Amino acid sequence: MHIYDLPTPAVVIDITALRKNIASMADVHPGRRLRPHVKAHKSSGIAAEQEAAGHSSFTCATPREILGLIDAHVGNDFLLANEVLDPHRLSALAEAQDEALITVAIDSPETLAAAHRAGIRSVIIDVNVGLPRCGIAPDKAGALADAARANGMDVRGVMGYEGHLMMVTDRDEKKSRVHDAMTLLAQAHQAVGGDIVSAGGTGTYDMFAGTTVNEVQAGSYALMDTQYAELGHPFVQAMWVVGTVVSKNDKWSVIDVGLKSLGMDHGNPTIKDHSVWFCSDEHTTFSPSEGTPQPIIGERVFVTPSHIDPTMAMHEVAYVANEYGEVIAQWPIDLRGW
């Protein structure tokens, strides 16, 4: 099968570009220095490629991601980097602890109690380092760690996500602000203890020299999107949503890729050499740039999403293609859901 024979909309991954991105990141953060975040791609097939590059520990956003990777026999050390209170989901993780090392993030007495009741053995203290989301105040992290150990739990260390800094474009400003955030994390780690100081993402992956961070949670680097491409990192676009031109007139064309197949929270997608007008539920309306011929009905068009994570979660399968456009594999996007 060729990518031009696929039913659309379809997620297509360039295997050469994917492996280039994985290798580029592994050169900077080899082995357990990187804990790839699978929320970005939701696919055990891509995680297997990351494992083949030397990464056996993974960051997960949902219990489903952890259980799916265990079922796929990919990885052996999983960090649930989100707070979870649901007893059924936590119990499912607890039941899998003999198959892999599972660590759950906590940031309050309530999340600690929920993990303890479910039988979770290992936790990490989630510390707020500036993003107004989850995480305990740095000066309260030590007490939470003490309470976890008093319950017989292993406290593996600290994590903190400086997500509010991912898209800062001035490198000097970003580096300064990342170091300030990591100073807070280091202070919390002194009180908490444990071997892990975990932070980071694709936008800050190269900003941790001189800090105590010893593992980075980047995820989007593997596939990329238009937002991260703006930062000028050495990662290339490796994934597109392929659509078919289903209608046109003398001013615009329409493809069968829309809001239900694209993550739109970071804005419109892009189409090379064309201007995207808007996205509807099942369509995108676009027009060619000056000097570019208008596509014909039935032609395939490659759409680059602005946000990779929610885009992948909208699809059931990714078609993996070689440099000739031949489909060499179909990877299920099997880690969706909670």
Q: pLDDT tens-digit profile of 227-261?
A: 999 999 999 999 999 999 999 999 999 999 999 99
Q: What is the mean pLDDT of each run of 10 residues along the chain (338 residues)?
A: 96 98 98 98 98 98 98 98 98 98 98 98 98 98 98 98 96 97 98 98 97 98 96 96 97 98 96 98 97 96 97 98 97 96
pLDDT in tens, 261-282: 999 999 999 999 999 999 999 9
Exposure string for 195-232, b = 16+ CB within 10 A, e = fewer:
ebbbbbbbbbbbbbeebebbbbbbbbbbbbbbbbeebe
pTM: 0.96
Domain(s) labelled CATH 2.40.37.20 in the chain stretch across 3-10+234-332
If we measure between CA atoms, which residue out of 94, 76, 82, 64 comes closest to residue 32? 76
Tokens of 131: 């993003």
Domain(s) labelled CATH 3.20.20.10 in the chain stretch across 15-222
Q: Could you tell me the fold of the domain covering 15-222?
A: TIM Barrel (3.20.20)
Characterize the bridge pairing of strands 284-288 and 274-279.
antiparallel
Return all residues near 125 (Cβ < 8 A) that are at least 6 apart.
105, 106, 107, 136, 141, 144, 145, 148, 155, 157, 158, 159, 188, 192
Rounded Cα distance, 119 and 84, in Å: 13
Cα diameter, the chain: 71
CATH code for the part of the protein at 3-10+234-332 = 2.40.37.20
Contact 66, 102 (CB under 8 A): yes
Residue 170 has a pLDDT of: 95
